[in-house]
Chains A and B, each alone.
Chain A
Amino acid sequence: MSVYRELLRLYPAGFRNEYGEEMCAVFEEKRRRASGFFQVSALWVEVLFDVIRHAIPLHADSVWQDLRYTGRSLLRAPVFALTVVLVAALGIGANTAVFTVVDHVLIRPLPFQGADRVVRVWESPPGYTRMEVSPPNYRDWQSTVTSFDAMAAYNRTSANVVGQGDPERIQGAALGAGLLPILGVAPVLGRDFSEDDSVEGAPATVILSYGLWRRSFGGDPRALGRTIVLDDEQHVIIGVMPPGFMFPDRRGEYWTALQLGPNDYGDRNNNYLEVIARLQDGVSLEMARAEMAQVMRQLAIAHPAENESKTATVKRCPGRAPSH
């Protein structure tokens, strides 16, 4: 009997509460009259099919009744109904907008191979977990840390563009050589920055976003080698990035070579570089964090005035990471 009661749970609760006991009484009568293995088995088969055959339509009826009731209620108060629809639409719209942002910023992995190995690294003085890195500390990280097979810095910039249609203010970044390979992207036209471009005093070069290239040069491949004036300084166009590449955020449209010289390396309190790196194969995030902590302890001993009590923060890139 308990098995039959369990089967009745497949019916909607309202139906079960109304007729469950009577159905149990009917089942008991039928069970009493069934004798022998075959009759009892046949009864159970009948009961099983009976429950399946009727429970599903009853659930559907229940849903349909709810829908009809809702429809009638809304039709009786059209203003209220309209308000409900508008509020629901606004809610869904806001939810979609927030999710789209969250999806891009927090959930969706970076669209290149090995994106899960890319990390961001910050200095972490007391009270701060994410502080930009000073060029001297960055240089020391590059030369000592072994958890990463590549590390590169960048610096957010903006510039006035003149001479290519209307003057406009555009956002971009100065990229250290090797940064684009860490992201797993390369110019669709022209070339990436070389070590030579990153030497202080080297001719100014620039890589354009696909959109800026189309906008300013009509998508002409002969734009390579021509110059563009950024903040009154001539820059030679050496490349064009693929469509959709945006860095360091969605506004990024141009990239110059990050040039660091002796003056930049002279001050460990001048924190302005953002750093990304790629984990070596076989190195976990925790291992990289442990090594960075060890390196920062060494730097604190070597340069106590600037690095005392500092540690480092290492986080995976998806999130506020570079994206394209």
Chain B
Amino acid sequence: MDILGAMTNSKPSAHDFLPLPLATFHILMSLANGERHGYAIIQDVSARTDGALELSAGTLYRSIQRMLEQGLIVEARRRPASIRDDQRRRYYRVTPLGRDVARAETARLLELVQFARASGFVPAT
């Protein structure tokens, strides 16, 4: 992944970011259906993986920092009414580039799975 190239070119290709780090991909999936704050992302990832993946605060915010720099996500301006929300929270949403990257990563993984299946690595049922 040529991140430097991706960051310095005016229009980076989605493929420049592949393969995606696991945490990055999960964060993109978590934001696929709407804006979320950090802790909500942690909960969502944990729920979706049945607790197998519990993002730590360090992993989450280091990933968020990098994804903001790469333009995969942005900070959302809209937020719930303050009475229902912790003002320290910030909400993030996925960008069109982020969606493209997530799709490209999905395609890459699907292709990988097809290769694996063709090689006889079929999951036991």
Would you call the interface of chain A mostly helix, strand, loop, or mixed? Answer: helix
Inter-chain contacts of A27 with B (CB < 8 A): 57
B117: interface (CB < 8 Å) = no
**B70 CB to nearest chain A CB (Å):** 13
Report whether B88 and A25 are in contact in the complex, using a CB–CB cutoff of 8 Å.
Answer: yes
Report whether A25 and B38 are in contact in the complex, using a CB–CB cutoff of 8 Å.
Answer: yes
Chain A, 105-123, contact with B by CB distance < 8 Å: what is the 0/1 string? 0000000000000000000
A21: interface (CB < 8 Å) = yes
**A68 CB to nearest chain B CB (Å):** 8
Report whether A50 and B38 are in contact in the complex, using a CB–CB cutoff of 8 Å.
Answer: no
Report whether B86 and A50 are in contact in the complex, using a CB–CB cutoff of 8 Å.
Answer: no
**B108 CB to nearest chain A CB (Å):** 25
Report whether B39 and A25 are in contact in the complex, using a CB–CB cutoff of 8 Å.
Answer: yes
Report whether A51 and B58 are in contact in the complex, using a CB–CB cutoff of 8 Å.
Answer: yes
Chain A, 36-67, contact with B by CB distance < 8 Å: what is the 0/1 string? 00000000001100110111011000000000
Which chain B residue shows the least CB distance to A52? B58
Inter-chain contacts of B37 with A (CB < 8 A): 22
Report whether B56 and A19 are in contact in the complex, using a CB–CB cutoff of 8 Å.
Answer: no
Report whether A50 and B59 are in contact in the complex, using a CB–CB cutoff of 8 Å.
Answer: yes
Chain A, 268-307, contact with B by CB distance < 8 Å: what is the 0/1 string? 0000000000000000000000000000000000000000
A26: interface (CB < 8 Å) = yes
Binds A, one of B12-20, B60-68, B98-106: B60-68
B89: interface (CB < 8 Å) = yes
**B38 in complex: contacting residue of A22, A46, A47, A53, CB < 8 Å:** A22
**A19 in complex: contacting residue of B39, B42, B65, B86, CB < 8 Å:** B65
Report whether A26 and B65 are in contact in the complex, using a CB–CB cutoff of 8 Å.
Answer: no
Report whether B56 and A22 are in contact in the complex, using a CB–CB cutoff of 8 Å.
Answer: no
| Cα of A51 to Cα of B58 in the assembled complex, Å | 6
Which chain A residue shows the least CB distance to B90? A22
Report whether B62 and A23 are in contact in the complex, using a CB–CB cutoff of 8 Å.
Answer: no
A69: interface (CB < 8 Å) = no
Inter-chain contacts of B61 with A (CB < 8 A): 15, 19, 22-23
**B80 CB to nearest chain A CB (Å):** 14
Report whether B57 and A50 are in contact in the complex, using a CB–CB cutoff of 8 Å.
Answer: yes
Report whether B39 and A26 are in contact in the complex, using a CB–CB cutoff of 8 Å.
Answer: yes
**B38 CB to nearest chain A CB (Å):** 5
Inter-chain contacts of A29 with B (CB < 8 A): 39
| Cα of A53 to Cα of B57 in the assembled complex, Å | 11
Report whether B38 and A26 are in contact in the complex, using a CB–CB cutoff of 8 Å.
Answer: yes
Report whether A22 and B58 are in contact in the complex, using a CB–CB cutoff of 8 Å.
Answer: no
With A15-B65, A18-B65, A21-B88 as given contacts, are A26 and B58 in contact (CB-CB < 8 Å)?
Answer: no
Most buried by B among A22, A29, A46: A22
Chain B, 34-76, contact with A by CB distance < 8 Å: what is the 0/1 string? 0001110010000000000000111111101100000000000
With A25-B39, A26-B39 as given contacts, are A54 and B90 in contact (CB-CB < 8 Å)?
Answer: no
Inter-chain contacts of A246 with B (CB < 8 A): none
Which chain A residue shows the least CB distance to B58? A54
Report whether B62 and A58 are in contact in the complex, using a CB–CB cutoff of 8 Å.
Answer: yes
**B59 CB to nearest chain A CB (Å):** 7
Report whether B65 and A22 are in contact in the complex, using a CB–CB cutoff of 8 Å.
Answer: no
| Cα of A254 to Cα of B88 in the assembled complex, Å | 81
Report whether B88 and A54 are in contact in the complex, using a CB–CB cutoff of 8 Å.
Answer: no
Q: Which residues in chain A, 64-107, are within 8 Å of chain B measured between CB atoms?
A: none
Q: Which A residues contact B (CB, under 8 angstroms)?
A: 15, 18-19, 21-27, 29, 46-47, 50-51, 53-55, 57-58
Q: Which B residues contact A (CB, under 8 angstroms)?
A: 37-39, 42, 56-62, 64-65, 86, 88-90
- Given A15-B62, A22-B38, 17 other A-B residues pairs in contact with their CB atoms under 8 A: A18-B65, A21-B88, A22-B88, A22-B90, A23-B38, A23-B58, A23-B61, A24-B88, A25-B86, A25-B89, A26-B38, A26-B60, A29-B39, A53-B58, A54-B58, A54-B59, A55-B58
